[in-house]
Amino acid sequence: MADGVTLAIVGATGAVGQEMLKVLAERDFKIKELICLADPREEGTPIEFKGETFTVKGADKEAFKKADLALFAVGTDVSRQLAPLAVENNCVVIDNSYAFRLDEDVPLVVPEVNAEDVSMHRGIISNPNCSTIIMVVAINPIHQVSRLKRVVVSTYQAVSGAGKAGLDELDQHIRAHMAGEMPKLQVFKYPIAFNVIPHIDEFVDDDYTREEMKMVWETRKIMHVPDLRVSATAVRVPVYRSHSEAIHLETEGPLSVEKVKEILSKAPGVVVQDDPVNNLYPMPLYTSHKDEVYVGRIRRDISVENGIVMWVAADQIRKGAATNAVQIAEIVVDRNLY
């Protein structure tokens, strides 16, 4: 539509919902009418967008009757409840939760990797896990040149991945540590200040966590490689924002480090930041509030034939959530898929 779409933001008061609004404004996404939705208990909350004030309404079936498109920034249970109601009203849903990611008839999309999958939607498109998004943006360009045989990844995940409560808990734990007091454990299993915790989400089969298995299942689906061998270790670190990942790749054919750098330097959404002589490499402090995936420390894996190691950092609230969802929305609108 030349004059824009009627867009609903579900979870508009939350961290990701707020970031979605910021990204929509930055990218000048054409909106005819904006509908801000949240928990009914937050009804009446004012939201600022492009110099205008919008009033939050409670999210229910009626709210989707006018919307062409809805960005969901809520938990899995809420998405499972509300997304089908939106679809019933011919509103296309882009969902940030885990609710539909592995459903066969729901595309799981990272635009730099599998934008063409958007056209296969039946009303719902899923936004992948933040760590998965960051990783596939970095590894898919390599896969396109020499097929990946194996991926081993360790994530270093910021506390903001656990929402505002995670940020508040890091603050509280720092203060408690400095005062010699016992920290209150609400979000994390152990003190997060001055510590790392190798446990995110629930433990499932073979003592992997669900967060780790999301990276296995989702990477295979996004890249259309159902037999890709992936192993992940997910670690929470005392960083406020932006996830980092150490990624070990094994390719079918040999690739020089110089070739990998050349591939990644031309890849959409990737910034190569690799100059060890001058101590230049990606770090979460400097990748926060940016949309690109930064890649550095690119080197040969000396433990395996045809192996490459890289270090990646990216803002998991932006590219790992809000920006990726808005990019999907742009595809839906540009291709008239709503």
Q: What is the pLDDT of residue 1?
A: 42
The whole-angstrom separation of Cα 192 and Cα 196 is: 6
Q: Which of 228, 323, 332, 220 is nearest to 269 (CA)?
A: 323
Q: Which of 121, 143, 173, 243 is catalytic?
A: 243
Token duo for residue 313: 């950092």
Instruction: Tell me the average confidence (pLDDT) per consecutive run of 10 residues in the chain, 338 residues long.
Output: 85 95 97 96 95 94 93 96 96 97 97 98 98 98 98 98 94 97 97 98 97 98 98 98 98 98 98 98 98 98 97 98 98 96
* CA 265, 271, 275, 278 torsion-angle sign: positive
Write down the domain spans for the chain.
5-128+321-334, 132-316
Q: Which of 36, 121, 130, 173 is catalytic?
A: 130
Asked if 243 is an active-site residue, the reply is yes
Q: What is the pLDDT of residue 3?
A: 81
The whole-angstrom separation of Cα 201 and Cα 140 is: 26
> What is 5-45 written as a DSSP string?
EEEEEETTTSHHHHHHHHHHHHTT--EEEEEEEE-GGGTT-
Q: What is the pLDDT of residue 43?
A: 94
The whole-angstrom separation of Cα 117 and Cα 156 is: 29
Q: What is the pLDDT of residue 61?
A: 86
Q: What is the pLDDT of residue 60?
A: 87
Q: Return the CATH class of domain 132-316.
A: alpha beta
Task: Work out the angle at residue 190's Cα, subtended by the Cα atoms of residues 185 and 191, and round it to the nearest 5 degrees.
Answer: 80
Asked if 36 is an active-site residue, the reply is no
Question: Can you name the CATH fold of 5-128+321-334?
Answer: Rossmann fold (3.40.50)
Please give the backbone phi and psi of residue 312, each rounded to the nearest 5 degrees, phi first: -130, 140
